[in-house]
Amino acid sequence: MALAREEVAVPEPEPTEHIASFEHSDLKLRKTMGLTQLTALSLGAIIGSGWLFAVLSADSVAGPAAVVSWVVGGICVLFIALTYMEIAAMLPRTGALARYPQLTHGGFTGMLLGWAYLLSAVSVPAIEAEASVTYLSSKFPTIGLISPNSTILSWPKGVMLAFGFLLFFFFLNFMGIRFLSEVNRWVVLWKLVIPTLTFIFVFFAFRSSNFGSSVGGFTPLGKAPIFEAVATTGIVFSYLGFRQALEYAGEARRPQRDVPRATIISVTIAIVLYTLLQLAFTGGIRWGSMGVKIGNWGLIGKGAWATGPFYRELHAAGIGVLAGFAALLIWDAVISPAGTGYVYMGTSVRTLYGMSVQRLLPPGLQTMNRFSIPWPALVASFFVGGLFFVREPSWYGLVGFITSATVLTYLMGGAGVMVLRRVAPDWHRPVRLPAVWVLSALSFIAATEVVYWSGFTTLVQVMTAVFLAVVLYLLYYAPARGFISKGQGLSLGLGFLLVWIYIAAKGGWMMRVGTLPVSGSWTFGTYYIAFAAAVVLVAVGTWLLSNEEGRMHIDKSWWFIFLCLTLFLLSYYGDYGFNPVHPTIAFPWGDLIAAGIGLVAFFWAVWSGFETDELKELQQALSGAAKLEPVPEMEEPWHEHHHEPHEPGDASAS
């Protein structure tokens, strides 16, 4: 049977200084991964803590309609994933999602989106460690792993145990990609079997009345919460692992064929599995055991069930065999999040590596250990990830931030594929997206909506964190590229940092955990005007100080600034804002306005994209048959034709 078209190996050109930054550096990575391992990495990241906690959180926001939330979230992620299929097959790169924005929109956009992606990546190992410790506290409440009457890790026991998990993730990644992928292969089998068995066992306790009039009907809290649950309860967070095949593309043997397949397979499996798990959990709720009045969905996430939803539900069913399986579930609550945690630590390493290759961060982050792992990036990932225990040592508190920060960067899938169609039309595309304008626009709008659904109290934290990247741009990237002088970058960068901290402090939200600002802070109107003015003025100031090339990089980023500032404003007044009970802009008008903002930003982003120096360098480095012309299909397996060995047991290589 004929196989998909593959790359033909071409002689590696002598790297120039710039080409080395984009191509030669990836040659230091070991290309050992096949379809099975790439799919396992994506599934291993997808099936983590999300299904263990998000089912309860989603029910508390949307009621029985949370089942629909999982489908909506899965479809949004699938649209996003589809646009990355073409880009990833065309340009398979390690740390890909942090590298694509700069390729199509320049350094300023690349820094903002790369920084947002980095924040989301380094925080995932922390939230997965929190998940494992929280579930263990459900089984062993007397140890004191969480603070009383909460889901926040206690100090020192809970936090130190979570640090222990981070150290374990660090060790697995330090030993290299071959070791990591082999360990992950078996962990993923476990992670598929246990959720499937959980769905089956919980159905023995299923009550159809939990979907009927006695609990307020299918949508007891209204229709808007269906979409709010997608972003805020861990639903989209649970799907975000699809990106792993993209992130490890530089270490795949046949990335053009296997990366797209692995991504689609993993997302499809996840949609089916998660929807069934939510259906089973909602049907298995025992209101008496929760200590909550029947139909009071808003309170079900406040009690003891929050530390271990499925574990508590299986025990509450009063069936012996289910209680026995619940004990096994505790072990899965350690293995599944840990399996996601070590994969995502690898993702954060590759994000730092990719940003370093793009010259957004210092080149020292690319230094390899004997296992071909960039160890300075790994060390940085470990310590920065640990900082998230300081602000919010709780799964429920951190999940919204990660979701919003990550999806903000996924805007580039829809915009990037259209820019590359325009500026690099002749490049070989092993995967070519049909109806590209429609799917790209839908992908961009889906990402915009998920960011909007995240709500104001999440977005205020995300926006504050994302625009700190401007400081890095001014202190490092712009002077290094010669856009501005070092003195100008230092003065403007430090000045913006001080102003930014002042605005965040006076706004009352900096490092704030909760739904209210600090007492005595600015009104929202004053805060928003100062926030928007600081962002616009620092961009204008950077433009004025920059040379002609530097100014172009600023010019190509205004669409992103527009999108962030308008969505931020809308989020305060909409259904998912500061006053969701009586919003100024009620559902569905807020959602429609967000879609309109997304559509304007999409066309603006596509128009703003240009043939960057990095794309020109890539075309020079990759010129030849492998990049510009399709290769005839071959009957014999690719690895036999090229005499390339494959790993034993890798089904994708046979």
At residue 247, the pLDDT reads 67
User: What is the DSSP secondary-structure string of 24-93?
Assistant: GGGGGS---B-HHHHHHHHHHHHSSSHHHHHHHHHHHHHGGGHHHHHHHHHHHHHHHHHHHHHHHHHS--
Q: From residue 459, give the alpha-carbon distance in Å to each of 173, 180, 402, 452, 564.
A: 31, 34, 11, 8, 9
Q: Kindly state whether residue 367 falls inside one of the protein's structural domains.
A: yes
User: What is the DSSP secondary-structure string of 576-618?
Assistant: TSS-SSS-SS-TTHHHHHHHHHHHHHHHHHHHH----HHHHHH
- Which phi and psi (to 5°) does residue 254 adopt? -130, 70
DSSP state of 574: S
CATH number, position 475: 1.20.1740.10
pLDDT of 6 strictly over 50: no
pLDDT of 297 strictly over 90: yes
**Which pLDDT tens digit goes with each residue over 403-429?**
888 888 889 999 999 999 999 888 888
Report the C-alpha gap between 377 and 357 in whole angstroms. Answer: 12
pLDDT of 579 strictly over 60: yes
Q: Kindly state whether residue 9 falls inside one of the protein's structural domains.
A: no
Which residues, at least 6 apart from 323, have a Cβ–Cβ distance to it below 8 Å?
314, 315, 317
At residue 638, the pLDDT reads 30
For the residues 243-265, what does the mean pLDDT come to?
78
Per the CB < 8 A criterion, the answer to whether 625 and 6 are in contact is: no
Q: How many CA atoms lie within 13 A of 623 on its CB side?
A: 9
Per the CB < 8 A criterion, the answer to whether 421 and 88 are in contact is: no
For the residues 483-507, what does the mean pLDDT come to?
95
Which residues, at least 6 apart from 470, have a Cβ–Cβ distance to it below 8 Å?
111, 112, 493, 496, 535, 538, 539, 542
Nearest to 237 by CA among 63, 158, 121, 385: 121
pLDDT of 572 strictly over 70: yes
Which residues, at least 6 apart from 387, have a Cβ–Cβ distance to it below 8 Å?
none
Nearest to 445 by CA among 401, 411, 405: 411
At residue 179, the pLDDT reads 63
Q: Kindly state whether residue 211 falls inside one of the protein's structural domains.
A: yes
- Which phi and psi (to 5°) does residue 153 adopt? -60, 140
- Domain count within the chain: 1
pLDDT of 586 strictly over 80: yes
At residue 592, the pLDDT reads 95
pLDDT of 145 strictly over 70: yes
* Minimum mean pLDDT range among 332-336, 504-508, 524-528, 570-574: 332-336
At residue 437, the pLDDT reads 95
For the residues 328-333, what does the mean pLDDT come to?
82
Nearest to 180 by CA among 86, 135, 96, 244: 244
Six token digits for residue 317: 């069913």
**Which pLDDT tens digit goes with each residue over 593-651?**
999 999 999 999 999 999 998 888 877 766 643 444 443 333 333 333 333 334 333 43
For the residues 198-205, what does the mean pLDDT come to?
85
Amino acid, res. 33? M
Confidence of residue 580 (pLDDT cuts 50, 70, 90): low
Q: Kindly state whether residue 113 falls inside one of the protein's structural domains.
A: yes
Per the CB < 8 A criterion, the answer to whether 49 and 128 are in contact is: yes
Six token digits for residue 367: 């230094």
Report the C-alpha gap between 49 and 334 in whole angstroms. Answer: 9
Q: Kindly state whether residue 639 falls inside one of the protein's structural domains.
A: no
Six token digits for residue 165: 């998990």
* Minimum mean pLDDT range among 132-141, 217-226, 599-608: 132-141
- What's the chain's average pLDDT? 82
3 state DSSP class of 374: strand
- Which phi and psi (to 5°) does residue 33 adopt? -100, 135
pTM of the model: 0.80
DSSP state of 361: S
Q: Kindly state whether residue 5 falls inside one of the protein's structural domains.
A: no
**Which pLDDT tens digit goes with each residue over 86-124?**
887 787 766 667 778 988 999 999 999 989 988 888 888
- In percent, the amount of the chain with pLDDT more than 90 equals 33
Nearest to 413 by CA among 109, 97, 46: 97
At residue 654, the pLDDT reads 29
For the residues 196-213, what does the mean pLDDT come to?
88
Six token digits for residue 598: 């997304």
DSSP state of 636: S
pLDDT of 450 strictly over 50: yes
* Helix 558-573 vs helix 436-453: crossing angle, to nearest 10: 50
At residue 322, the pLDDT reads 78
Task: Spell 353-381 as b/e; 16+ CB within 10 A means b.
Answer: bbbbbbbbbeeebbebeeeebbbbbbebb
* Minimum mean pLDDT range among 120-129, 318-327, 395-404, 429-438: 318-327
Report the C-alpha gap between 63 and 527 in whole angstroms. Answer: 34
Confidence of residue 511 (pLDDT cuts 50, 70, 90): low
**Which pLDDT tens digit goes with each residue over 365-390?**
888 888 778 889 899 888 888 888 87
Alpha carbon dihedral 622, 625, 629, 631, in 10-degree steps, equals -130
Q: From residue 139, give the alpha-carbon distance in Å to each of 56, 60, 130, 348, 404.
A: 17, 22, 15, 31, 31
- In percent, the amount of the chain with pLDDT more than 70 equals 85
Containing structural domain, residue 466: 17-631
* DSSP β-bridge partners for residue 33: 252
Q: Kindly state whether residue 332 falls inside one of the protein's structural domains.
A: yes
pLDDT of 7 strictly over 70: no
3 state DSSP class of 41: helix
Q: How many CA atoms lie within 13 A of 555 on its CB side?
A: 12
Number of H helices, E strands in the chain: 29, 0
Q: Kindly state whether residue 646 falls inside one of the protein's structural domains.
A: no
Nearest to 433 by CA among 75, 83, 6: 83
Amino acid, res. 246? L
Amino acid, res. 553? H
* Minimum mean pLDDT range among 132-136, 252-256, 472-476: 252-256
* Minimum mean pLDDT range among 128-132, 468-472, 478-482: 128-132
